[in-house]
């Protein structure tokens, strides 16, 4: 009986010990977004925290108009130290369990200090590797303080909902902290992060609706920030930017997961004053890599179905098979032309964002052979051949276009 009592007491203490590090919800400081900037003077890093206010969601507990987050900025040697330095003045116990995004100022992203400081964050068990990586044109501190979403009061919801729109528009790359670290460690290609800004620049004079960067969309009202395009990293340092159109090309020329649909416009081959609006679906890509020579030979074939949504020129493509063939050939040639132009740009940068090195790596028997080949140095001289196989499957619900000549006259 004595042994049973001692054993039962021991079991009770074991279970009760789990409450030793408990913390009340109002004591916790949940960081929703982290901002990183290069200090104006001195060493270290400038960190901006956007913290959730747990009481803001309780009706009547907060004054009217009070925000759901608190934005605090401080300078520290590194991000982990900053988390504890914050308690010099703030009462909440800071944690990264619910951090949704990391925003990095472009100046800091282009510096040599960026990669060493960002890599140390992976050691913290609280850090979520699936948080989004975003590069802001301005300082991250200014970006976070000025970003006031028009429809969402919580930054957590804002980035969560925006990520669902990214999957549809395909004008920003899939970018998480984990992807950035793994692609940088692979040391074979370019790493991409979402490019964003709240500074409105002069609108870019282009007919391609997606051939722009953040800040170049002529927009009034609503949320001040824009997210389109990508920040380009090579060996952990930002070197350039890609437009929304170029990011879409990357998704098309890369094997693996594809956007479910991708709406775009292109010049009407029979009336270049107008643009045809299409929607591409069922995109599939096959890549073959030959590494038998010092410079790789890459063959890329892309298949897609295109639905024509609008024909503003009123050219009757629906009932004329020859015109349909002309439209199909024009679309294939256009995609091939802009793809070749973009591939040349990546070769000038000295690395590729398409992850073709994964296909090339399969051709080597050992890892040592692959490393000796040095894909990043071999790619600029690669011979790349891209072909598009496009099928026009639908022309919308309107069978015969209206005769607009009389209206225009």
Q: Are strands 237-242 and 261-267 parallel, antiparallel or unpaired?
A: unpaired
Residue 347 has pLDDT above 60, yes or no: yes
Residue 2 placed within a domain? no
More confident residue, 172 or 156: 172
Distance, CA of 188 to CA of 373 (rounded, Å) = 11
pLDDT, position 336 = 93
* Beta strand spans in 198-254 (E): 226-234, 237-242
Residue 21 placed within a domain? no
More confident residue, 54 or 347: 347
> Under a CB-based contact definition with an 8 Å cutoff, are residues 212 and 248 in contact?
no
pLDDT tens digits, 198-247: 888 776 666 677 788 888 888 888 888 889 999 999 999 999 999 999 99
Same domain flag for 197 and 277: no
CA quadruple 375, 376, 380, 384: dihedral, nearest 10: 50
Same domain flag for 387 and 407: yes
Same domain flag for 95 and 234: yes
Q: Which domain holds residue 298?
A: 254-409
Structural domain tally of the chain?
2
Question: pLDDT-derived band of residue 394, with 50, 70 and 90 as boundaries?
Answer: confident
Prediction pTM value: 0.85
pLDDT tens digits, 12-52: 565 555 565 666 667 778 888 999 999 888 778 899 999 88
Instruction: Check which CATH number belongs to the domain holding 365 and give it.
Output: 3.30.300.210
Distance, CA of 175 to CA of 191 (rounded, Å) = 9
> Phi-psi bin for 13: left (phi > 0), alpha (psi -120 to 50), beta?
alpha
* Mean per-residue pLDDT of the chain: 84
Question: What is the average per-residue pLDDT within 162-191?
Answer: 87
Question: What is the average per-residue pLDDT within 280-284?
Answer: 88
Same domain flag for 303 and 372: yes
Residue 137 has pLDDT above 60, yes or no: yes
Residue 372 has pLDDT above 50, yes or no: yes
Same domain flag for 309 and 356: yes
Question: What is the average per-residue pLDDT within 130-147?
Answer: 92
Question: pLDDT-derived band of residue 64, with 50, 70 and 90 as boundaries?
Answer: very low
Question: What is the average per-residue pLDDT within 104-131?
Answer: 88
Distance, CA of 115 to CA of 111 (rounded, Å) = 9
Same domain flag for 238 and 369: no
pLDDT, position 407 = 44
Residue 369 placed within a domain? yes
């Amino acid at each position: 009986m004595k042994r049973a009592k001692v054993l039962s007491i021991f079991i009770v203490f074991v279970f009760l010990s789990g409450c030793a590090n408990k913390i009340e919800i109002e004591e916790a400081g949940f960081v929703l977004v982290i901002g990183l900037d290069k200090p104006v003077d001195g060493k270290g890093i400038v960190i901006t925290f956007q913290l959730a206010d747990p009481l803001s969601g309780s009706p009547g507990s907060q004054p009217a108009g009070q925000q759901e987050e608190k934005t605090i900025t401080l300078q520290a040697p590194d991000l982990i130290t900053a988390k504890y330095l914050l308690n010099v003045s703030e009462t909440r116990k800071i944690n990264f369990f619910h951090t949704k995004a990391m925003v990095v100022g472009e100046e800091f992203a282009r510096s040599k200090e960026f990669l060493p400081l960002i890599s140390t964050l992976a050691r913290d068990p609280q850090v979520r590797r699936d948080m989004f990586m975003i590069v802001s044109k301005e300082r991250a501190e200014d970006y976070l303080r000025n970003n006031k979403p028009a429809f969402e009061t919580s930054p957590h919801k804002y980035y969560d909902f925006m990520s669902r729109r990214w999957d549809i528009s395909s004008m920003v790359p899939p970018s998480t902290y984990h992807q950035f670290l793994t692609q940088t460690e692979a040391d074979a290609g370019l790493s991409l992060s979402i490019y964003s800004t709240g500074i409105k620049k002069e609108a870019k004079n282009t007919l391609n609706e997606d051939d722009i960067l953040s800040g170049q969309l002529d927009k009034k009202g609503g949320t001040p920030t824009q997210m389109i395009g990508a920040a380009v990293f090579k060996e952990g340092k930002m070197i350039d930017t890609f437009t929304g159109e170029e990011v879409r090309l990357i998704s098309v020329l890369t094997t693996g997961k594809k956007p479910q649909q991708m709406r775009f416009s292109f010049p009407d081959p029979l009336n270049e004053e107008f643009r045809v609006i299409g929607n591409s679906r069922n995109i599939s890509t096959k890549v073959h890599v030959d590494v038998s020579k010092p410079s790789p030979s890459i063959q890329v074939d892309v298949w897609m179905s295109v639905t024509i949504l609008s024909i503003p020129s009123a050219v009757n493509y629906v009932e004329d098979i020859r015109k349909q063939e002309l439209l199909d050939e024009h679309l294939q040639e256009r995609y091939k032309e802009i793809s070749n132009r973009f591939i040349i740009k990546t070769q000038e940068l000295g690395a590729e964002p398409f992850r073709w090195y994964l296909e090339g790596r399969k051709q080597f028997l050992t890892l040592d052979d692959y490393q000796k080949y040095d894909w990043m140095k071999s790619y600029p001289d690669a011979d790349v051949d891209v072909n598009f196989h496009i099928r026009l499957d639908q022309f919308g619900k309107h069978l015969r276009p209206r005769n607009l000549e009389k209206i225009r006259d």
